[in-house]
Structures are given as structure tokens and as C-alpha cells.
Amino acid sequence: MPLTSAPPLPVTEAQRKILERLGPLGAERVPIVAALGRVVAEEVRAPFDLPPWDNSAMDGYAVRSADVAPGTELPVVLDLPAGARSGQALPAGGVARIMTGAPLPDGADAVVPVEATTGPSGEGRFAEPGERVRFDAAAAGGDNVRRRGEDVGRDQVVIRAGDVAGSGGIALAATVGRSTVSVVRRPRVSIVSTGDELVDIDEAGAPDRIVNGNAYGLASQVAEAGGVPRILPITPDDPEAIGAAIASALEDDVAITIGGVSVGARDWVRGALEEAEVEIVFWRVAVRPGGPVAFGVAPGGHPVFGLPGNPVSAQVTFELFVRPALLRLAGRRACFRRPLRVELAEPVSTRPEKSYYLRVALESDGAAWRARPTGFQGSAMLSGLARADGLAVVPQGTGDLPVGAQVDVLPLGDRTLFRTAP
């Protein structure tokens, strides 16, 4: 069947076809803090136990628990601040003053917090070495002691290859001695805008010209997805110029073209991709906005996305098709946003032949979210996109939906994660 007669693909099928062609990029070694949010590409093991020795969980007194009963008074014979040497012995008949984290002395089996004692200068006050301390209650072996290796055992895996590094994992890796870690490379993504009508920002307002706003919107989407964007110069609607721009773009891990991918008289992008021997996997999806969207694989294996020029179409198709691809290249296994299930605050009207991704604002009554379309849903309506907190999904085969209908919303940005009150 010739490509031109292939029916538009359902969105999820198009997404599957993209991901099945992509795998993680190579790895690079980065300083440990720079690993935040990146996919770790090696297994990190602890070369020693954590904690490295039995130590105190409280500021107080290390004791032999058998020595301590309500009212017992004992002398402080050893002082163990944090940083004290491990392996010191607790002389019989005495207790050690010990601070949180300090190594438990040999012979001691429990720590009594200072609050449960009376020192020479009153309740809950520390006795100095040489002074006596009175215990309010009995102690039991193991009280307020952190055992060697109870957190992490020597040789235990602390980060698995494929984990996304968070701040907790970074603290752990640093604690076991890692100053650098191997992570999957960030995808470099070039952006080619096509159109005789386009000018750059510094010519905004020029007669008969449109600013190449898409390149900036998409570059920020690339960055948000963890990629490194490169905006190429605006390319005129000329097959040769587009071919040259695509060749340059293919030097990066991912090439994105904007515009010229539909059936307009001067839509040269698909032809230029074929000319560059890009295998076109699909070029039409049953989606609104953004039906004319192409995905291909260049001879070197680099993915190419031909996004439509209408700004809303470009950003929505990026969200649906490019973002998951960048996450997969960056080594992530979970590449799709988890939707919120919410009620529609207004009825919506769609045609069943396509899946719709409506720009919605999310309103909260403190408990549940409701989704309200941000005005007219035209694919050139940037203001509605700028106000949107998410995309409400009306799947293919659905049609109109009444107010109160449940829909999935793909949250954009992080508004749903924050609130003004603590």
C-alpha cells in the first residue's frame, strides 16, 4: 500500500511505534550532584557498612544496661563527642557521655538520653566527666543504639542501573564514597523551523511576518524533558534549504522540523526527509490538534519528528510523541505522564474519528480537580495553551461529553504539585 493512502494512526499506536525504535543513549560520568533527575547507568555498591560502627541515636550516656535501675547514680568516666575514635572501652562501674552518632564504646549495650537523667546541675543537664549522673529509669540492651550495617550492608547495591537519581539516592551514593556517577547522556535535539513567513524575535511586528515562536516553545519543552535543545536558523520553504537543514539537524541525537509537513502546495518537509533516506514510519495520526505529524528514522538511527507548524499542534504533538522519545533516549523506562482522572467543568464537543487533547485549566475545590477548557480550542490559539494546566484526553470513538464527565488529564508543568497553603 503506498504511504499516502495509509490511514491516520491512533495516538497510542503511533507512540508505541516510536518507542519500539528507540533505546537509551550512551553513558557519561558526571559529578554526583549533576546526576539529579538523570538515569544512572551503573550499579553503585557500598564498599563498607552503613553505619560503619554501632553508634548512639541520642545525646546521652552509654551504659551497661544491667548497671542501670531507677535512681542509680554512676560516674561519667569517658567522653565521646561525635567524631570520637571507635573501639574505646567503657570502664566497669561508669558510664560514657556520648553524642548522637558517636561510636558506642566496647562494653556498653544501651544509651540513655540525657532527658531521662538528672545531672549535678539539674534535670536533663549533662554531667561533665568526673561528675555523677542519676538515672530515672531502667535501661534495656539495644536502647537508642544504631547497629553497624543496619542501614546498608557492605557490598549492598545502593543504586541500580536504570534508577532515576533523586536527592536521597545522591546523599546515599556520596555517603558510600562516590563523587561521580555514570548516567545516560542527555539527548541533544535540534529544531528546524520552516516557513517563508517566519522571522526571529528581534523582528517581531514586521509586516506580513510571523515570529518563529514555536522554536522557543519547543526548545523549552526539550529542556523540560531533560534534553539539550539547539535552535537552527529559520529555513525558507525551499526543498534544497530544507534538505541542508535536515542534514545539519541529523548531527544531533534527535531532529525536529516544524511546519511544512502537511499537504500544502509548499510543504516540502516529507519530501526532504525521503530525500535524506529517512525511513518514514508514519506521517499522519488521528489526533486533534496536530494530525499531520511525521516520525522517521534516519540511516544512522537518529529519530526525526516532523511537527506541524500551528503552535498548539506543535506543542501538543511534542508532548505526545517527542517527549516520551526523549525520556526513552535518556534511559527512562516510564516515559508517559500518569494522567489525573477529573470531572469536566464544561461540556465539550469533539468528533469521534480522532483523539482530542483539549487545553484545560484545572480548578480545585480543595479535594477534587475539575477541568475547564481554556477557551476556543483552535490549533493556532496560543493564549489558551499558555493558560493550560493540562491536556484533557477525549479518546477516539468518544464524541461529545457532558459537564461532569470523567476525563483523563495529562498535567503540564507542576501546578498540580503545589498549593499556596502549607
Query: Are the CB atoms for 319 and 313 separated by under 8 Å?
Result: no
Contact at 8 Å (CB) between 403 and 417? Answer: no
What's the sign of the alpha-carbon dihedral 303, 164, 388, 368? positive
- Parallel, antiparallel, or unpaired for β 254-258 and 188-193? parallel
Segment near ligand AMP (CB under 6 A); pick from 79-87, 189-197, 326-334, 404-412 = 189-197
> Cβ of residue 193: shortest distance to Mg ion, in angstroms?
9
Taking the complex as a whole, the smallest distance from the CB of residue 264 to ligand AMP amounts, in Å, to: 5
- Binding test (CB under 6 A) with ligand AMP, winner from 213, 239, 291, 395: 213
Q: Which residue is nearest to ligand AMP (CB)?
A: 309
- 260: contact with ligand AMP by CB under 6 A: yes
**Among the listed residues 205, 203, 200, the one whose alpha carbon sits nearest the alpha carbon of residue 216:** 200
Q: Which among 9-17, 42-50, 254-262, 412-420 is the span making contact with ligand AMP, rule CB under 6 A?
A: 254-262
Do the Cβ atoms of 372 and 345 come closer than 8 Å? yes
Selected binder of ligand AMP within 95, 110, 152, 198 (CB under 6 A): 198
213 binds, among ligand AMP, Mg ion, none (CB under 5 to 8 A by kind): ligand AMP
Exactly one of 58, 74, 114, 258 binds ligand AMP (CB under 6 A); that residue is 258
Among 262, 315, 377, 396, binds ligand AMP (CB under 6 A): 262
- The single residue among 166, 264, 352, 399 that binds ligand AMP, judged by CB under 6 A, is 264
Q: What is the CA radius of gyration of the chain?
A: 31
Is position 260 an interface residue for Mg ion (rule: CB under 5 A)? yes
How open is the CA angle 85-88-92, to the nearest 5 degrees?
A: 150
Which parts of 296-335 interact with ligand AMP (CB under 6 A)?
Answer: 308-311
- Find cell 563498607 and name the residue: 48
Nearer to ligand AMP, 361 or 381 (CB): 381
Tell me whether residue 192 or residue 304 sits nearer to Mg ion (CB atom): 192
285: closest CA among 303, 307, 310, 270? 307
Q: Hunting for cell 555514570 — which residue is that?
A: 182
Question: Which one of 12-20, 115-123, 136-144, 253-261 is the stretch in contact with Mg ion (CB under 5 A)?
Answer: 253-261
Q: Name which of residues 284 to 323 contact Mg ion (CB under 5 A).
A: 309
Least CB distance to Mg ion at residue 220 (A): 21
Q: Tell me the closest approach of the beta carbon of residue 288 to Mg ion, in angstroms.
A: 19
Q: Which three cell numbers stand for residue 163?
A: 534508577
Residue 397 binding: pick among ligand AMP, Mg ion, none (C-beta 5-8 Å cut-off by kind): none
Indicate the burial class of 398 (C-beta count within 10 angstroms; 0-12, 13-18, 19 or more). middle
Q: Select the residue interacting with ligand AMP from 15, 56, 193, 355 (CB under 6 A).
A: 193
Taking a C-beta distance cutoff of 8 angstroms, is the pair 138, 68 a contact? yes
Q: How many residues bind ligand AMP (CB under 6 A)?
A: 18
**From Mg ion, ligand AMP, none, interface partner of 258 (C-beta below 5 to 8 A by class):** ligand AMP
Closest residue by Cα to residue 319 from 220, 252, 395: 220
Catalogue the long-range contacts made by 232-236 (C-beta closer than 8 Å, 24 or more residues apart).
232/190, 232/191, 232/192, 232/193, 234/193, 234/194, 234/195, 234/198, 234/199, 234/200, 235/192, 235/193, 235/194, 235/195, 236/194, 236/195, 236/196
Could you say which of 35, 215, 329, 401 contacts ligand AMP (CB under 6 A)? Answer: 215
Which among 26, 331, 52, 35 has a CA at the least distance from the CA of 174? 35
Site for Mg ion in 155-194 (CB under 5 A): none
Tell me the β-bridge partners of 370: 343, 363
Listed ranges 1-9, 140-148, 192-200, 294-302: which one lies at the site for ligand AMP (CB under 6 A): 192-200
Residues with Cβ < 8 Å from 338, sequence gap 6 or more? Answer: none
Residue numbers at the binding site for ligand AMP (CB under 6 A): 193, 195, 197-198, 210, 212-215, 258-260, 262, 264, 308-311
Residue numbers at the binding site for Mg ion (CB under 5 A): 195, 259-260, 309
